[in-house]
Structure 1
Amino acid sequence: MSNTRGETIKNILRVTSGNFLEMFDFFLFGIYATHIAHTFFPNENEFVSLMATFLSFAAGFVMRPIGALVLGPYIDRMGRRQGLLLTLSIMASGTVLIAFVPGYASIGLLAPLLVLAGRLLQGFSAGVELGGVSVYLSEMATPGNKGFYVSWQSGSQQVAVIVAALLGFAINKLLSPADVAGWGWRIPFFIGCLIVPFIFVIRRSLPETKAFAARTHRPTTAEIFRTLAAAWPVVLGGVGMVVMTTVSFYLITVYTPSFGKTVLKLSETDALLVTIAVGASNFIWLPVFGALSDRIGRKPILVGFTVLAVLTAYPALAWLVSGITFERMLGVELWLSFIYAGYNGAMVVALTEVVPSSVRTSGFSLAYSLATTLGGSSLAISTWLIEVTQDKAAPGYWMAFAGLVGLVSTLALYRRGRTALAQPA
């Protein structure tokens, strides 16, 4: 693999392109949750309709551990490049299905069932997509820069958040509310379908990583499962670390448009502007703290930002709902973005380092997908918490809990003497 800067940048773009598509589709689901609810899950009770939509969104995350267990060993055995092409194909199938399914009014119960099938396909693919991309970036990184390289996995997702939110903003400006609700919300999903062939073409040109190509032994699926079983404390600790990332990410990005519109009663345009700002903030802070973790180690960053989440998540949201304005929502979401991006910049690379190299993709993907089952349920959990407590700031309790889980898991892994986490790579 060429070590020139231009070739390195091209490979980063090639490998993260699938991450972009995954988050683009997932985020569109959050932006247009109310329209999807009315189209596929109609109900006179708005809470019931929205919960059905969020549960179908969460169902995709239930498929992630299955995808990790099925596709992870395939990538560890057959190669990073081949596996990333397979995950892209499966993900694209789910995207096309969701984009073109007629509404409940046209085909009845079949409509929500097909949307659910699309989400399950996306979840199955995503179960190993993040792991495959993160491992590829860690294996292509130059010495002492793993944190910086791996941070672009999450960085590509922020670009997707920004693009999706900008499209949503433009559609809301150009179309009437009735047109957006009737058919306009599908336009970004169609655009996602159109970019699939382009991403497939550029991914086909990916070279295999030197680290994988140099292996003399390719483990069988049975060997991979045995290694994973033996490393279960590490995988479990990884799950706890990732919970903090997934909960905070989905709260500040995918949930923000619905939270701003349905809970805070701000305009959809205002909520999308805040989301664009959050995506830009994440994009800046992720590589900054990924690079910083290469210099000072992963542990100080992981501990520091989980403590910030525990101490400030609920008070920040309580301050927001005590006097709801666009400016307050922007300030609070940017603060939560700083916490998420600072933590995640160090966490993702830490997880690639702590998992045994022979099952790196499988172990990473399993830990990440199990945690994302909780994180991806944040939309439904937050909606339920607000309904039960009648406290609009209740999602802050959920993020604080996730921070506590991340803190305990990080400390537990360090006590096991996992020095790779503690030292810059």
Structure 2
Amino acid sequence: MTSQATVAQPQIKSRLGAILRSTSGNFLEQFDFFLFGFYATAISKAFFPPGNDTNALLLTFTTFWLGALMRPVGAIFLGAYIDRIGRRKGLIVTLGIMAIGTVVITICPTYASIGIAAPIIVLIGRLLQGFSAGVELGGVSVYLFEISTPGNRGFYTSFQSASQQVAIFVAALLGYFLSEIMPADQVTAWGWRIPFFVGCIIVPFIFVLRRTLEETPAFLAMKHHPSPKEIFASAALNWKIIMLGMFMTAMTTVTFYFVTVYTPTFGKNVLKLSTADSLLVTLAVAVTNFIWNPVGGALSDRIGRKPVLITISVLALLTAYPALLWLTAAPTFGKMLAVEMLFSFYFGMYSGAMLGALVEIVPTHVRTTCFSLAFALAAALFGTFTPLASTWLIKETGDNASPGFWLMFAAASGLMATLAIYRGGKSIATRETAPAQA
């Protein structure tokens, strides 16, 4: 299989072009996800019953999380579809579903206009986005892995996550300019929809890019493309790898959603910093996330995935709560920037190594399904739960630094999973297949 894929590699005319086209859908997904988190307060006022701002915010983050619960469903069904018919066609389908969800949220009337139908419509939009996102990240990661050059798989695959940071940067920049040219009450009333409309406008351009995507040589070289029944059976058989992959990925998803989606709300509502300060920090996070992801991927290509994953997990486990305690004791823009830069480093380095590791440990013939399911479960149960968990922890404990415990839990999950995956110096994939090879 490997030799066949290697021979077929020249079929990819431009790897840079393939990276840009394949990751374009990631841009749209993360663009909308970030906007939902940043404008959570405005969305809560627009679509949920008035009277209790904290409860409305919790309902907003709950809706955000419920949409993520559709990710594992999308990973199973759309993942099987991609493993069956190809990476290119599957990524076009996921883009279409994602676009519909974005449009639904953008044009939904307010609670004041249509009552309880408003949050229901928004939830439907989030469910569609979650269903699509369940395989979008996995599909792109597998695509990048399969077009990579020998010895650079971690570096190539890291651009799945790096591309999302461009969306964070653009969304934060739009939000910053919006806050500068519009009064806060107008932004809360209707101005928050403007960036969502921008997302709708760019959909046709992303669709054109995806249409020109080439199929990967590795998929074309496969002698047998499994049926959905075979894919589901194989995924069930490899449940141990999927679960370990989920816990390994938890560190990535929790840290990412904290430093991007939750940071603006944390800065404004908890630290009482200005909207502009929160957005500037998020802009800086997007830039450093983009830098650290390929650095982490390239480093893991040179020294191995295991050392990078263990080192970053341990550092996060030891410093997450103390860093937030230092920040919340006397919040300033500079301290928030410093803490977020630290967490950005953890996220980028770990993510860059983790993506390549996860593709490597899942079975080749069901690569998209198993990768997507592991990632989707981590996002649903840990990552997208982060804004809700952080808000709830602060409310229940009265400790503004308490989200640090959630970050520590994620770091511990990543550490334990990594140790289990690479036990004895070999990855779980090697251990599981060794008897068959012998």
Under TM normalisation by the shorter chain, which class is it?
A: over 0.9
Q: Deviations over 1:202-242 (max 9, x none)?
A: 10000100000111101011111111111111111000001
Aligned to 1:136: 143
Do 2:9 and 2:147's aligned partners in 1 also have CA atoms closer than 8 Å?
Answer: no
Aligned to 1:256: 263
Aligned to 1:150: 157
Deviation at 1:5, TM superposition (A): 10
Q: Deviations over 1:350-376 (max 9, x none)?
A: 000000000000000000001101210
Query: What is the SS of the residue equivalent to 2:222?
Result: coil
* Aligned mates of 1:215, 1:348 — CA distance in 2: 22
1:343 partner amino acid: Y
Aligned to 1:418: 427
1:168-317 alignment runs, 5 A limit: 168-317=175-324
Residue 387 of structure 1 pairs with residue 401 of structure 2: no
1:392 partner amino acid: N
| Residue 298 to residue 66, structure 1, CA distance change in 2 (3 Å) | same
Residue 321 of structure 1 pairs with residue 321 of structure 2: no
Aligned to 2:18: 11
Range moving further from structure 2, 175-184 or 78-87: 175-184
* Aligned mates of 2:114, 2:368 — CA distance in 1: 40
Q: Deviations over 1:303-357 (max 9, x none)?
A: 0000011000000000001111000000000001101111111001100000000
| Residue 421 to residue 51, structure 1, CA distance change in 2 (3 Å) | farther
Aligned to 2:40: 33
Do 1:353 and 1:421's aligned partners in 2 also have CA atoms closer than 8 Å?
Answer: no
Aligned to 1:167: 174
* Aligned mates of 1:43, 1:414 — CA distance in 2: 51
| Residue 50 to residue 421, structure 1, CA distance change in 2 (3 Å) | farther
* Aligned mates of 2:67, 2:430 — CA distance in 1: 30
Q: Deviations over 1:276-319 (max 9, x none)?
A: 00110101111111111111000000000000110000000000
* Aligned mates of 2:423, 2:230 — CA distance in 1: 27
2:239 partner amino acid: W
Return the TM-score normalized by structure 1.
0.97
Q: Deviations over 1:28-83 (max 9, x none)?
A: 00110000000001332211010000000001110000001110100000000000
Do 1:39 and 1:103's aligned partners in 2 also have CA atoms closer than 8 Å?
Answer: yes
Aligned to 1:58: 65
Query: What is the SS of the residue equivalent to 1:254?
Result: helix
Give aligned pairs, total.
Answer: 422
Q: 2:81 aligns with which of 74, 78, 85?
A: 74
* Aligned mates of 2:340, 2:53 — CA distance in 1: 25
* Aligned mates of 1:217, 1:50 — CA distance in 2: 49
Do 1:94 and 1:118's aligned partners in 2 also have CA atoms closer than 8 Å?
Answer: yes
1:85-100 alignment runs, 5 A limit: 85-100=92-107
* Aligned mates of 1:107, 1:420 — CA distance in 2: 52
* Aligned mates of 1:344, 1:178 — CA distance in 2: 38
Residue 354 of structure 1 pairs with residue 354 of structure 2: no
Aligned to 1:23: 30
* Aligned mates of 1:371, 1:226 — CA distance in 2: 21
* Aligned mates of 2:319, 2:160 — CA distance in 1: 27
* Aligned mates of 1:176, 1:4 — CA distance in 2: 53
Structure 1 gap ranges (5+) = none
Query: What is the SS of the residue equivalent to 2:272?
Result: coil
Query: What is the SS of the residue equivalent to 1:255?
Result: helix
* Aligned mates of 2:28, 2:196 — CA distance in 1: 10
Aligned to 2:373: 366
2:416 partner amino acid: V
Do 1:139 and 1:210's aligned partners in 2 also have CA atoms closer than 8 Å?
Answer: yes
Do 1:15 and 1:206's aligned partners in 2 also have CA atoms closer than 8 Å?
Answer: yes
1:340 partner amino acid: F
Do 2:94 and 2:132's aligned partners in 1 also have CA atoms closer than 8 Å?
Answer: yes
* Aligned mates of 2:51, 2:115 — CA distance in 1: 16
1:199 partner amino acid: I
2:164 partner amino acid: Q
Do 1:414 and 1:421's aligned partners in 2 also have CA atoms closer than 8 Å?
Answer: no
* Aligned mates of 2:393, 2:170 — CA distance in 1: 30
* Aligned mates of 1:229, 1:55 — CA distance in 2: 29
